[in-house]
Amino acid sequence: MSSFDFLGSEQTIFSNPDALDPDFIPKLLPHRENEQQFVATAIKPLFHGRTGISLIVSGPSGIGKTVSVKRVVMDLEEHEEADNIAKLNINCWKANTTYKVLSEIATQLGLRFIQNLKTNELINKVISRLEQYDGVVIVLDEIDKADDTDFLYHILENIKKRTIILLTNEPNINAQLDYRIISRLTPETLEFKEYTASETFDILKERLKYAFYQDTWSSEAFAELSKVASGYKDIRVGITLLKITGELAEQDSSKKVTLEHVKEATKRVSTLKPAAVNKTFKDEEKLVLDICERSSGKTTGELFKKYSKAGGEKSEKTFKRTLDSLKRKGLIKLKPTGEGFQGRSSIIEYLGPEKKITDF
């Protein structure tokens, strides 16, 4: 490296660091054009006063489900026909009960004085506001994480000109939803497939151009990063790697990102649980682990109730065996409380993978 390759203290290799934020929504999403088209087609009937098509969008995490649907809904802003269409986006992991979902919808609709309303009053208020629109697009992201989906029933019963899009990592979400809901929703399904290595390459290359100044990356460094990211089968990991690698290069005051920076960044993200590990996980373990994560600090009995509510079908005994298995894998801790049947009740502490991608 010649001495001219050093970065001055005021200089940076990032042209737009925000492009590496988890919430960044690029204008163009390479290799998701068809999926976006499918979503747009489901919404379009609303432009002509007809009812839309509802969708279940499924596929593993980190492959662009959320961002693709968000982009399509954002692009509606550019269409006059969509001016009087309500556009709602709810994450059912964060808003996981009927009351929370309705409050979130009310907030997005700009409704005020909703704090002290009972669920029924809130439903009525939300529905009568939605009725004022020519059509309604509701995206319910991570619907598999919702503890109850009654809100959906009310919307389906009352709002006819609608496109409801349910996003899920669980392939058989139908089984989790009430028959009353499915029969009214009559959704089409759109399955997102994992990206191939070359698609991962294109997507990350594009993101790199958004985030870094030209010529800051050697092609060998980028090729390595793309290869590592592809192994994780999750674009989020690739974006995290771009960010950490860039920061490491800057710490070195280097104007160029090198293979060594990528290797160091790779080491740092290796504390993340690779998708490969995730996949060898049985669905049952995933479900139980999810519940442990969301209810860390609760007892086995309380967790079992949540598990049954979330659609878990196994007996309490099997449930406890799954907990033991998660404990052996170092993902949870069990602390006996000395209470419960034969003193076997424990408090569950979620440990999970050491770090989450969002920690970076």
Ligand X SMILES: Nc1ncnc2c1ncn2[C@@H]1O[C@H](COP(=O)(O)OP(=O)(O)O)[C@@H](O)[C@H]1O
Binding site for ligand X (CB under 6 A): 22, 26, 29-32, 61-67, 203, 235-236, 239
In the complex with ligand X, the residue whose CB is nearer, 61 or 278, is 61
Q: Which does 31 bind (CB under 5 to 8 A by kind): Mg ion, ligand X, none?
A: ligand X
In the complex with ligand X, the residue whose CB is nearer, 29 or 101, is 29
Q: Can you state the angle between helices 300-309 and 316-328, rounded to 10 degrees?
A: 110
Q: Which does 235 bind (CB under 5 to 8 A by kind): Mg ion, ligand X, none?
A: ligand X
Q: Which does 334 bind (CB under 5 to 8 A by kind): Mg ion, ligand X, none?
A: none
Give the span between the Cα atoms of 97 and 305, in whole angstroms.
Answer: 16
Q: Are 156 and 184 in contact (CB under 8 A)?
A: yes
Q: Where are the alpha helices (DSSP H) in the chain?
A: 33-43, 65-75, 98-108, 119-130, 150-158, 173-176, 179-185, 197-211, 219-232, 235-251, 259-269, 275-280, 283-294, 300-309, 316-328
Q: Which does 98 bind (CB under 5 to 8 A by kind): Mg ion, ligand X, none?
A: none
Least distance (Å) between residue 193 CB and ligand X: 11
Give the span between the Cα atoms of 145 and 148, in whole angstroms.
Answer: 9
**What are residue 94's phi and psi, to 5 degrees?**
-80, -45
Least distance (Å) between residue 69 CB and Mg ion: 9
Residues in the chain: 360
Q: Are 357 and 272 in contact (CB under 8 A)?
A: yes
Q: Are 320 and 340 in contact (CB under 8 A)?
A: no
Give the span between the Cα atoms of 191 and 166, in whole angstroms.
Answer: 12
In the complex with Mg ion, the residue whose CB is nearer, 236 or 320, is 236
Least distance (Å) between residue 22 CB and Mg ion: 10
In the complex with Mg ion, the residue whose CB is nearer, 66 or 149, is 66
Least distance (Å) between residue 62 CB and Mg ion: 8
Cβ-proximal residue to Mg ion, closest one: 66
Residue 14 tokens, joined: 């990032």
Cβ-proximal residue to ligand X, closest one: 64
Give the span between the Cα atoms of 11 and 92, in whole angstroms.
Answer: 41
In the complex with Mg ion, the residue whose CB is nearer, 66 or 258, is 66
In 3-state terms, what secondary structure has residue 86? Answer: strand
Least distance (Å) between residue 265 CB and ligand X: 17
Give the span between the Cα atoms of 54 and 59, in whole angstroms.
Answer: 17
Least distance (Å) between residue 64 CB and Mg ion: 8
In the complex with ligand X, the residue whose CB is nearer, 31 or 261, is 31
The residues binding Mg ion (CB under 5 A) are 65-66
Least distance (Å) between residue 66 CB and Mg ion: 3
In the complex with ligand X, the residue whose CB is nearer, 29 or 88, is 29
**DSSP code, position 16:** -
Q: Which does 26 bind (CB under 5 to 8 A by kind): ligand X, Mg ion, none?
A: ligand X
Q: Which does 236 bind (CB under 5 to 8 A by kind): Mg ion, ligand X, none?
A: ligand X
Q: Which does 101 bind (CB under 5 to 8 A by kind): ligand X, Mg ion, none?
A: none
Residue 268 tokens, joined: 């740092």
In the complex with ligand X, the residue whose CB is nearer, 141 or 150, is 141
Report how far apart, in Å, the C-alpha atoms of 144 and of each of 39, 141, 193, 204, 296 are: 19, 8, 18, 28, 19
Least distance (Å) between residue 167 CB and ligand X: 7
- Return the amino acid letter for 238: G
Q: Are 116 and 168 in contact (CB under 8 A)?
A: no
